[in-house]
Amino acid sequence: MNGDWLIRGRDGRLSVYLPTEDAVLCRAELGPGGPWEPPRKVGGDQKLRPGPAVGQGADAYAHLAAWRPTKEGEAGLVHSTHFRPRLAPLDWTSIGHPDRTGDRTGTPAVTVDAQGRAHVFVRNREGGVSMRGQKEVGGWGPWRDLKGADVDDRLAAVTGESGRVELYAAVPGALLHWRQEKPGSVPVLEEAMETPVRAGTLHALATSAEHTTLFYADDSGDLCAWRPGTKPVTLLASAGPGPVTAIRCELDGHDCTLLAQRSASGRVAFAAYPTEQESAGAWWTESGPQLPVDAVVAMAVDEDGRVVAATLSPSTGQLQITRRKDEPGLALEAWREV
């Protein structure tokens, strides 16, 4: 999944979204701390193409987007809304193709503005970015060409604390940043930052009322943080080659940014630092058993304010969960299979 596939729903229950070859599965807690319900399909029986996306709004509703085959050699994007983990998501509805017709052009990214309107971004046939957003009165606006060139397949969409939508993309030797000038407007390309960036490593997070922060790996393997309007900062060496994820949480009374990544040893590595204070430094601490090479990590905060981490191996379907213990620091419970 492109996006935070472990989320806390409107009813406080945690849920996960699990991609398969031709569908998205959802699982939800039956009660605080588990057990979990069996997997069920999102959006009905339509066949999907690989690479779905998920985003969540301030109302805690989840919005999903994916490609589905339409006819030989062609595909179109579909959207579903999931209001509560224990309820069934809505059926997939078509939102079309950024180039009107054609095959899959890239992995979608989804974010939701302060009014609860989903915005779906995807690379288009020309190598730039296109976006389609929900209208405030219902339905969808037209596809918008946001420009750009040689954009990497995997985009990072985020909504700031201001409620305005932002997008980050990697291009050869640089990062691009789009932002809404006002709520409901079309995001505009505001900045291009020359920096070595490893494709497929972008993760964006709202970190203050004024800023979002992009985390990415550079060509040397270092994990970097960038806030538009400033220069990128090297945080620490990446724990492993895979994607990093990040959340904001309270640790011992401090507003912290918590990073997680599958390490080179195969375990989950965590690192925390005071939010937007990269100069304070961060270091990795590993946790849990060794994981398959394709395992990915996600994090959330449960209704009790505790950090929850999950790992998923797409090849085996193994899903594991841990929670922070009720004690100082980032001590975690034993990982358990769901």
Q: What is the pLDDT of residue 321?
A: 96
Tokens 């730039």 — which residue? 128
The alpha carbon of residue 84 and the mean position of all alpha carbons in its chain are separated, in whole angstroms, by 18
Distance, CA of 127 to CA of 171 (rounded, Å): 10
pLDDT tens-digit series, residues 32-75: 887 999 999 999 889 999 999 999 999 999 999 999 999 999 99
**How many other β-carbons are positioned within 10 Å of the β-carbon of residue 314?**
16
Beta carbons of 36 and 7 less than 8 angstroms apart: no
Give the pair of three-digit tokens for residue 150: 């040689």
Which residues pair with residue 87 across a beta bridge? none
What are phi and psi for residue 278, nearest 5 degrees? -60, -25
Beta carbons of 267 and 311 less than 8 angstroms apart: no
Distance, CA of 314 to CA of 150 (rounded, Å): 28
Tokens 């579903």 — which residue? 80
Closest CA to 325 of 337, 314, 334, 317: 334
Give the pair of three-digit tokens for residue 176: 């691009």
Give the pair of three-digit tokens for residue 277: 């204070």
CA 116, 113, 208, 304 dihedral sign is positive
Q: What is the DSSP letter of 33?
A: T
Beta carbons of 256 and 231 less than 8 angstroms apart: no
Distance, CA of 169 to CA of 249 (rounded, Å): 25
Looking at residue 98, its amino acid is P
Distance, CA of 113 to CA of 133 (rounded, Å): 10
Distance, CA of 227 to CA of 204 (rounded, Å): 10
Closest CA to 191 of 150, 234, 148, 245: 148
Q: What share of the chain is helix, strand, coil (3-state, %, to 5)?
A: 0, 50, 50
Q: What is the DSSP letter of 92?
A: P
Q: What is the pLDDT of residue 329?
A: 86
- Residue segments in the chain with a per-residue pLDDT below the cut of 70: none
Beta carbons of 85 and 12 less than 8 angstroms apart: no
Angstrom CA distances, 124 to 54, 71, 151, stand at: 19, 19, 9
Q: If DSSP codes are grouped into helix, strand and coil, which group holds residue 29? A: strand
Closest CA to 297 of 283, 308, 305: 308
Q: What is the pLDDT of residue 31?
A: 86
Max CA separation in the chain (angstroms):
57
pLDDT tens-digit series, residues 318-336: 999 999 998 888 999 999 9
Q: What is the pLDDT of residue 86?
A: 85
Angstrom CA distances, 225 to 140, 218, 336, stand at: 33, 10, 31
pLDDT tens-digit series, residues 106-128: 999 999 999 999 999 999 999 99
Using a 10 angstrom Cβ sphere, with 0-12 exposed, 13-18 middle and 19 or more buried, the burial of residue 100 is exposed
If residue 110 lies in a helix (H) or strand (E), which one and from where to where? Answer: strand 109-112
